[in-house]
Structure formats: C-alpha cells, structure tokens
Structure 1
C-alpha cells in the first residue's frame, strides 16, 4: 500500500472531524452526525491501516461509551461528543503529519533494506566493515538499513544466551548501533561515501541506519521471521519505495518473496 492514499484518507478524516467539531448543530443532530462520521471513516480506513490503528484513532473507549449516554441530556452529550471529536481530529492530524515527516526524512536515503538477524550474526564482516553494497549489487547508490525492534530484541537475546559466532557478532552489532544511534530516533551513519572497504578502487555510497519502532498497541506475530517480513512490508508502504529483505536463510527469503518483497539471500552462512 502506497503512503499517499493513507495520508490523503487521514487528512480527509481530520478535516471532516474538525468541521463537525466547529459546527453548531443541536445535540441530538451532533450525536448522530458524529457516529455517521466515525462509521464512514472506519469504512474508508479499514483497508489502509491496521485494526489496532483504527481502534487507537476512532473506535476508542470514549467512542463506545458515547453509545450509552442519554441523548436527551443535551449539554453532557454535546460536551462529550465535542471532546471526542477534538481528540480524534488531533490524532488524525498527527498521523498524516507524521507521514509527511517521513516523506521528507526519507527522500534522499537511496536503497532501503531490512537486514534480518542471521546476517548480523553470521556475516564475515562486522556491520560497519561489511561491503553490503557489493552483496546487494547496488554500486554507488546510498544504502539505508532499517532495523525493526524485533531484530534488536533478537540480538539482545543472542548476546546474552547465544553461542559461538552468533553471540560474539550480536554483541559487536549492538555496540556499533549504540555508537551510531546515540539518539534512537535519529538516522545514524555507519559509513560515509567513499572507497569500498574490500576494494579501494570501487566507490560506494553512504550507508545510513535507523530503528523502526513497533507501532502503538502493536502485537507482534508469534514467529520473529514473520514479524520481520511484516514490518518490512509496512515499511515499503510508508517509504513509498521497494524494500529489500537481506538474509542468509532460505525460509526467510521465501517468506519475503511470498509477501511480495524483494529478497536477497546471501551465500556462505
């Protein structure tokens, strides 16, 4: 799903809620108009965003509580509906502005990749020393690595309870990320543009990295591999560009391709 239809639907929902909030209808009419807006907005958004986001933005506890309010009580009904409309309009506005922010933030970051845990644990070079552009065959283009939080949690588990290379490399990867992402909300730079670390005669683009936090109220899928693919798929819609999943595992590359993502399976694990 492209970012633009989501952004436009959220903006339209905000505008409708804001206009309804500013209206001067009788309490009963406002009450009915509010539920018409809510039902219409759910219909328009349910194919664009998750059920958890629908609940967070529209079908809130206060929304359901309004069903039990005596409509004859004019003043309380008006106040409660106005309060919920104000909250929902603000939430819609925050959501579409967040998408606008991402469009600007990600405009010039080049090729987007989600690197799964197997690569961090088994690649022969450390994250800041690896020539991932060579692995991906992308030449001098900038490379942007996006790391879902589930991958960070897996690396944390492996550094404490893993074995052999996986444990050592998980610890090294987390150390690099701590250095380049002193603020977890920032975009860090793993390496500036310049010669390849493996072949100085080949130029490579800048490599950047950022964390992808779990969305509010998000419930992870039971399998970490499925969760990584699901997050990569969501990222593809938010970034409005192709996202490549990089892995050593056949199962993971197959999952990614079945989901419609581009998968790069590295050799040599």
Structure 2
C-alpha cells in the first residue's frame, strides 16, 4: 500500500455521516473529482507518461462505462479520473460504487457549505489512514480527533489548540458560533466527544507518531504534525522567548517615555492625548464619524 497519497476534503463532511464507508466514499470521491486533472498531469506522470499509459491499459473500462456519463464528451478528463482511482489502489467495481454515491450527494454537500458564511477548513489526510478507518483498524474517535487537529494546524509547523476547539471541529463545525448558527437553521444537536475521549485519542495518536504535543505552563498545549518532540520543544521555546523579549522591551520603553515626559524632554500626557486625538480625527482616505451616546 502506498503511503504518499492524500485525500483533501472540507471539514463539514465530518457531520454528514459517522459511517466509515460513507465517509470513505465522500472524501475519496471529492478528492478524485476535484484533483484528478492536476494529479494525473503533474510530477512523475508528466515527465514519464508511459507509467500512466500502462496503468490505464490494465484497467477494465467495460466495468467503468456506467460512470462515463459524469464527464464531458472529452475522454481525457474521464481517463485522468480513472487513473487517479487506480493509483489509489481502488478496484474498478469500488470506483464505480464510490463515484455513484458521491455524485448522488454532491449537490447536498456543497449546499451545506453555503449555508454558513466562510469557507470550510480543508483537511489533508493520508489515504492509508482513511482506508484503515474504513476497515476498522483506526477507530472513529481517533479519526475525528485527528481530522479536527489537521483542520486547525493546516500548513503551520506549530499550533496551539484547546480541547474545546477540537470538540467542535471533530463534530464537523469550524467553531462554536458556527454550530450555534446551524442549530438556529434547524440542524439537529451534535454528539460531541468528551474531553476525556479527546485526551485519550490525542495520546493514542502520539503513540502512532502521527503528531507531537507539548504542554506549556500546565495549560497551553501545542501541536505539530510535522515536527518531532525535540523540534517542537525548540519551536515552542523560540515562540515563548520571542514573546518574553517583546514584553520586556515594551515595559522598558514605556518606563523610558514616562521618565522623559516627567523631565520635560518628551511630550506630556496632555500633549500625547492631543496628538492621539489628531490622529483619530485626521481624514486621509477614510472619514471618521463620531457618535455620542446619550445616557
């Protein structure tokens, strides 16, 4: 099994179904339809088209004729789609079933995303882990928590995440506010993972070397899916030392400015207030309108 293939899908897919097979079809179908053209015509397949041709020659297109209707008359797009499916080690029958399922709910999936303003975060997950989830060797809790963390971390090397944030993301919602809006629009109440379940899942994911975490001052937890524990320590240390240095300098400069104003070498407190007022009322490109509250 290749481990360098990935599926990419919006976070809100997680709330559509808890069934491993349905989620497998949704996420894989979305990836194939969205990225097949780029996948089949870049990298090694662009410089070595013979590989692509040999794989397609082995494919039984008589089985796949039932899904050809979903593609334009131009056969290239269809062949790219089939090629990506074959490179993901999908059998022809499974690719047909997966495609029909995804196309049947595709409109509904995109309508769900438009109901709430803002783009749904994207999850980029290793395909072998998705297959393990479908086959039952990767538990539902691990899958949900890992997807939640991936949706927050994105391309960042290090990220601080709370269990509350993971709770909503694991249920398919970007935030608590989005969840509240969805409830007002008639959605059913979600079944959230408990913090104990999240903590257990995070520990298991660390055991599997899928992520690294570090607790700072017993309350701030940092996550990374790219760094090992030593690299994560250095990254967090750098963040905190930079933050500490900034506030130390800030405090020093504020004291220095205060001493200058007392000696008459700098602007007084009244002058500072006047300067601030001028900056606020100055109109270069924008017009500031002040409204006084009546008590």
Common fold by TM > 0.5: no
Instruction: Pick the TM interval, shorter chain.
Output: under 0.3
Larger Rg: 2
Please state which structure has a larger fraction of its residues in helix: 2
TM-score after normalising by structure 2: 0.20
Please state which structure has a larger fraction of its residues in strand: 1
TM-score after normalising by structure 1: 0.22
